[in-house]
Amino acid sequence: MPSIPLPGEKVERVERTVAFQGYFRVARYLFRHSLYRGGQSVEVDREVFERGQAAAVLPYDPVRDEVVLIRQFRAGTFAAGRHPWCWEIVAGMIEKGETPQDVARREAIEEAAVEILDLVPLYSLVLSPGACSETCSIFVGRTDATGVGGIHGLESESEDILVQAMSFADALALLSRDEIDNSAAVIALQWLALHRDELRSRWR
By residue range, what is the domain housing residue 167?
53-203
Pair 92, 186 in one domain: yes
Is 59 within 8 Å of 134 (Cβ atoms)? no
Pair 27, 63 in one domain: no
pTM assigned to the model: 0.92
Q: Given 50, 115, 157, 179, which residue is catalytic?
A: 157
Domains of the chain: total? 2
Coil/strand/helix, residue 146: coil
9 is catalytic: no
Nearest to 203 by CA among 94, 79, 117, 84: 117
Pair 41, 16 in one domain: yes
C-alpha separations of 85 from 68, 78, 113, 185 in Å: 16, 8, 20, 14
Q: Evaluate if residue 153 carries a pLDDT over 70.
A: yes
Pair 35, 136 in one domain: no
Question: In this structure, what CATH number is given to the domain that contains residue 160?
Answer: 3.90.79.10
Pair 77, 151 in one domain: yes
Helix (H) or strand (E) holding 179: none
| Segment 24-64, tens digit of pLDDT | 999 999 999 999 999 999 999 999 999 999 999 999 999 99
Nearest to 89 by CA among 9, 27, 174: 174
| Segment 168-193, tens digit of pLDDT | 999 999 999 999 999 999 999 999 99
Pair 60, 95 in one domain: yes
